[in-house]
C-alpha cells in the first residue's frame, strides 16, 4: 500500500538570530531611552507601546539604519525560503512594545499587512512566550493537533509571519522588562 501525507495550507513562520547583534542593540538602545511609553486606552492594562495609535514608523523616525538592514536581509531569506519572489516593499509602521510584570498581549493580527515581524530587543528566559493561534478553528477540537503554537524566542531573534496570522504574548510574570520592536511590511502590488 502506498500513501502520501499532504501538508495542506501550511503557514510559513520565519525565525532567526540577527547577524549584527551588538550594533543593532546599541542603535535600538539609543532610541529606546528616548521613548515615552504609554498603553492603548482601549485595551486595558495589557502592555506599553511607543506609539499606541500605530501611526508612526519608529525605524524611520529614529533612523534605525542597521536594524532596517537586518529586516531587509531576513525578509529576503524568508521570501526565498518560501519561493516568493521578492518585490519592492515598504515598512508601513514599526513600534516598541514593552511588557512589565503582569503585562501581556491579547490575541490579535496585523490586518492587511503582508508580513508582520518582531525583534526581541530585551528578553529573559521566563518572561512570557510568544504564541500563534491556528487560522483553522476546527484544530481546537481536533485530535491531531493543537490550535496553538508556542515559541520562546531569545534576545536578538527576529520572527516574520503573514500579517493575518493571529498571535499574542503570554503574561510576563518576572520582575524583568521584556521589550520588542514590531513592524509591518507591505509589498508593492504593481511592481514585481
SS (HEC) of 39-51: ECCCCCCCCEECC
DSSP annotation string for 83-102:
T-----EEEEEEEEEEE-TT
Rounded mean pLDDT of the chain? 91
Q: Is 160 helix (H, G, I), strand (E, B) or coil?
A: strand
Which are the contacts of 185, defined by CB distance < 8 A and separation ≥ 6?
71, 75, 89, 90, 91, 92, 113, 114, 115, 116, 117, 163
10, 134, 139, 5 alpha-carbon torsion, rounded to 10°: 10
- What confidence tens digit (pLDDT) does each residue in 59-96 have? 999 999 999 999 999 999 999 999 998 899 999 999 99
In angstroms, rounded to a whole number, what is the distance separating the alpha carbons of residues 164 and 108?
9
Do residues 33 and 122 lie in contact, with contact meaning Cβ atoms separated by under 8 Å?
A: no
User: What is d(CA 151, CA 132) in angstroms, rounded to the nearest whole number?
Assistant: 8
Is the distance from CB of 124 to CB of 147 less than 8 angstroms?
no
The C-alpha atoms of residue 12 and residue 161 are separated, in whole angstroms, by 7
**Res. 28: pLDDT tops 90:** yes
Mean pLDDT confidence for 24-42: 95
142-155 residue pLDDT tens: 555 567 888 999 99
Residue whose C-alpha is closest to residue 100's, from 71, 83, 122: 122
Which backbone phi and psi does 87 adopt, to 5 degrees? -140, 175
* β 157-162/89-99 pair status: unpaired
Q: State the DSSP string of 2-68.
A: -------S----EEEE-S-HHHHHHHHHHHHTT---EE-TTS-SS-EES-TT---BHHHHTT-HHHH
Candidates 32, 74, 59; CA nearest to 160 is 74
Q: How confident is the model at residue 135 (pLDDT cuts 50, 70, 90)?
A: confident
Amino acid at each position: 500500500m502506498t500513501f502520501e501525507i499532504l501538508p495542506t495550507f501550511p503557514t510559513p513562520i520565519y525565525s532567526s538570530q540577527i547577524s549584527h547583534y551588538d550594533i543593532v542593540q546599541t542603535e535600538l538602545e539609543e532610541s529606546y531611552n528616548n521613548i515615552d511609553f504609554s498603553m492603548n486606552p482601549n485595551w486595558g492594562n495589557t502592555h506599553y507601546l511607543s506609539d499606541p495609535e500605530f501611526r508612526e514608523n519608529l525605524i524611520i523616525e529614529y533612523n534605525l539604519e542597521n536594524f532596517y538592514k537586518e529586516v531587509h536581509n531576513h525578509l529576503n531569506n524568508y521570501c526565498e525560503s518560501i519561493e516568493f519572489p521578492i518585490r519592492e516593499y515598504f515598512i508601513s509602521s514599526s513600534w516598541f512594545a514593552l511588557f512589565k510584570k503582569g503585562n501581556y498581549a491579547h490575541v490579535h493580527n496585523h490586518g492587511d499587512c503582508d508580513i508582520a515581524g518582531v525583534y526581541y530587543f530585551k528578553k529573559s528566559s521566563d518572561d512570557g512566550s510568544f504564541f500563534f493561534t491556528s487560522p483553522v478553528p476546527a484544530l481546537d477540537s481536533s485530535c491531531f493537533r493543537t490550535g496553538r503554537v508556542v515559541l520562546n524566542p531569545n534576545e536578538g531573534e527576529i520572527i516574520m509571519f503573514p500579517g493575518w496570522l493571529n498571535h499574542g504574548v503570554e503574561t510576563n510574570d518576572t520582575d524583568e522588562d521584556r521589550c520588542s520592536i514590531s513592524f509591518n511590511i507591505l509589498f508593492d502590488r504593481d511592481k514585481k
